[in-house]
């Protein structure tokens, strides 16, 4: 590994983008929606690069071939690529129909590292650098999860510790009770840090067509 790659790895925690769903509510995979002539997933990756990001892991599932057709630099599974000084990995969840947690579980099996990671569903925002740095500083040896809140409501992205991620592969992803929010709520309170922030965008969830229409017009 060269000096440049070492420098990359010393930046922000790795970013996991969960983009395995079909996007049935909006008619296409959400990462492939165009905002100002740029795919939304590329907006997120570009923003992470601007925030001194390190590496990105993209969890695809439905419409994975459409992502490859639309993004020329996207590395094939089990290969590593580079984009905007970021190390990029792409993983494909063949069981994407089992829901978002199945993508998270698959990625946890493939990413064999104890490093904390940022977990971001593709239909959410990345906040500013100041907020990310603040949340990363709150991550300590005792906390398994760090979650931003706005007016007491939980948002994204969240930080997940490596030791917690390693347990995800033990869950039956076909069981409807296998959900990240349920797992977090089962943890002792001293393992979960809720950090109140001033940015309401942490609550954004681009679930429906009107949410995207607002984003396009902003």
- For residues 135 and 169, give the distance between their C-alpha atoms in angstroms, rounded to a whole number: 26
Taking a C-beta distance cutoff of 8 angstroms, is the pair 102, 64 a contact?
no
Residue 211 has pLDDT above 80, yes or no: yes
Burial of 150 (0-12, 13-18, 19+ CB in 10 A): middle
What was the pLDDT predicted at 27?
84
Task: Summarize the confidence of residues 8-13 as an average pLDDT.
Answer: 64
What was the pLDDT predicted at 7?
42
Burial of 120 (0-12, 13-18, 19+ CB in 10 A): buried
CA dihedral sign of residues 156, 169, 207, 84: positive
Instruction: Give the CA distances from residue 49 to residues 1, 23, 126, 151, in Å, rounded to whole numbers and listed in that order.
Output: 20, 25, 11, 28
The model's confidence at residue 111, banded by pLDDT at 50, 70 and 90, is confident
Q: Yes or no: is domain 3-217 CATH 3.40.50.300?
A: no
The helix (run of H) or strand (run of E) holding residue 159 is strand 158-160
| Residue 157: cis peptide before it, omega within 30 degrees of 0 | yes
Taking a C-beta distance cutoff of 8 angstroms, is the pair 131, 149 a contact?
no
Taking a C-beta distance cutoff of 8 angstroms, is the pair 41, 64 a contact?
no
Tens digit of each residue's pLDDT (9 = 90 or more) over 36-83? 999 999 999 999 999 999 999 999 999 999 999 999 999 999 889 999
The model's confidence at residue 4, banded by pLDDT at 50, 70 and 90, is very low
Taking a C-beta distance cutoff of 8 angstroms, is the pair 88, 120 a contact?
no
Calculate what percentage of the chain has a pLDDT beyond 90.
78
What residues does each domain of the chain span?
3-217
What was the pLDDT predicted at 10?
47
- Which single residue is written with the structure tokens 């922030």? 197
Tens digit of each residue's pLDDT (9 = 90 or more) over 144-187? 999 999 999 999 999 999 999 999 989 999 998 899 999 999 99
What was the pLDDT predicted at 49?
95
CA dihedral sign of residues 112, 116, 120, 121: positive
What was the pLDDT predicted at 163?
94
The helix (run of H) or strand (run of E) holding residue 119 is strand 117-121
- Whats the size of the chain, residue-wise? 218
């Amino acid at each position: 590994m060269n000096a440049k790659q070492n420098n990359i790895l010393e930046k922000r925690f790795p970013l996991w983008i969960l983009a395995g769903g079909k996007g049935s509510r909006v008619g296409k995979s959400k990462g492939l929606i165009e905002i100002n002539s740029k795919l939304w997933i590329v907006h997120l990756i570009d923003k992470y690069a601007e925030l001194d990001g390190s590496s990105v892991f993209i969890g695809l599932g439905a419409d994975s071939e459409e992502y490859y057709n639309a993004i020329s630099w996207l590395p094939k599974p089990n290969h590593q690529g580079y984009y905007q000084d970021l190390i990029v990995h792409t993983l494909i969840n063949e069981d994407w129909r089992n829901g978002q947690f199945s993508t998270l579980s698959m990625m946890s099996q493939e990413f064999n590292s104890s490093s904390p990671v940022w977990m971001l569903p593709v239909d959410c925002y990345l906040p500013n650098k100041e907020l990310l740095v603040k949340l990363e500083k709150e991550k300590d040896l005792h906390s398994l999860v760090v979650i931003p809140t706005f007016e007491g409501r939980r948002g994204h992205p969240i930080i997940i510790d490596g030791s917690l991620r390693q347990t995800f592969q033990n869950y039956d992803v076909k069981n409807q009770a296998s959900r990240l929010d349920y797992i977090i709520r089962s943890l002792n309170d001293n393992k979960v840090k809720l950090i109140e922030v001033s940015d309401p965008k942490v609550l954004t969830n681009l679930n429906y067509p009107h949410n995207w229409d607002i984003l396009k017009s902003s």
